[in-house]
């Protein structure tokens, strides 16, 4: 367990630090965070990245999808998280329809960074035009491929993506295009482990998996899922880290250690 007794002396991580972790083969640990109390706890344990996800629509607000989440919601929760964190790198989601055009993406990304304190914004899909425009404005971008929760009405269900050859080839091609457009990080959600391994190996930027096997450069889980609390069923790719923990801090530390040692996800959490 890596714990920081004096976070005031700890330098915040940057995208360069995460890239260096990939180069030296150190796994990147990431959890979602939505408020100051959990942010401080997660940060003190040594988690590398905190993602203020639009998943808050489901685990905080109680909706069935992430679609109702607004920019105001995202700015508010990002500010709560970033205000108290000292080390962890902070990424914030651009919510549904907040990046319909490159200019809209830039304006909303600016809000997340200026008012929210985010160091990077994340958007879903192969939005090469938006990523390229944001990169040109000096805005760090995290891509997101595989299962795209904001496209749930188009997908019809939350299911594994990239199982068919053509789908897998498109995900690989999209990943390369996102990197070339300037994305500094990529999240792969609910894809076969072998596909995720190929993407992680081929890209120079870090690839963070969620339901994407152990060979990604890092892992992310929704905080409430790994604590086994929430209003909906815990996904198969998640794990209840509270089961063998005395308290929440111990559960988060166990997750951090399992990611760093490539012990999570195991085969039962992968596709």
> Is residue 189 flagged as an active site residue?
yes
Q: Which residues contact 267 (CB under 8 A, 6 or more apart)?
A: none
3-state class (DSSP) for residue 243: coil
70 touches 54 (CB < 8 A)? no
Residue with tokens 């700890």: 10
C-alpha separations of 73 from 32, 97, 139 in Å = 15, 14, 20
Q: Which residues contact 244 (CB under 8 A, 6 or more apart)?
A: 254
Which residue blocks in 48-95 are alpha helix, DSSP H?
Answer: 56-59, 71-84
Read off the DSSP letter of residue 233.
Answer: P
Bridge-based pairing state of the strands 120-122 and 218-221:
unpaired
Question: Annotated catalytic residue: which of 26, 167, 189, 194?
Answer: 189
CA 70 to chain centre: 18
β-strand partners of 221: 31
- CA–CA distance, 234 with 89 (Å, rounded to integer): 26
Please list the active-site residues: 189
């Amino acid at each position: 367990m890596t714990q920081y007794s004096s976070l005031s002396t700890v330098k915040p991580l940057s995208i360069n630090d995460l890239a260096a972790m990939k180069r030296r083969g150190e796994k990147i640990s990431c959890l979602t965070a939505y408020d100051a109390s959990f942010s401080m706890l997660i940060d003190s344990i040594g988690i590398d990245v905190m993602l203020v996800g639009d998943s808050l629509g489901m685990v905080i607000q109680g909706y069935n999808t992430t679609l109702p989440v607004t920019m105001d919601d995202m700015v508010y929760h990002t500010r709560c998280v970033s205000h108290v964190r000292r080390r962890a790198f902070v990424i914030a989601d651009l919510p549904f329809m907040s990046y319909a055009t490159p200019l809209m993406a830039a304006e909303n990304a600016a809000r997340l960074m200026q008012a929210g304190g985010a160091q990077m914004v994340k958007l879903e899909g192969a939005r090469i035009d938006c990523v390229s425009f944001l990169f040109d404005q000096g805005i760090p971008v995290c891509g997101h491929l595989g299962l795209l929760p904001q496209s749930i009405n188009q997908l019809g269900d939350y299911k594994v993506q990239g199982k068919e050859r053509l789908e897998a080839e498109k995900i690989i091609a999209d990943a390369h295009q996102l990197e070339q457009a300037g994305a500094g990080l990529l999240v792969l959600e609910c894809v076969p482990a072998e596909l995720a391994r190929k993407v992680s190996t081929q890209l120079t930027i870090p690839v963070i998996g969620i339901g994407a096997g152990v060979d990604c450069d890092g892992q992310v889980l929704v905080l409430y899922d790994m604590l086994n609390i929430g209003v909906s069923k815990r996904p198969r790719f998640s794990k209840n880290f509270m089961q063998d923990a005395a308290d929440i801090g111990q559960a988060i530390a166990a997750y951090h250690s399992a990611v760093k040692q490539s012990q999570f996800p195991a085969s039962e959490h992968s596709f």
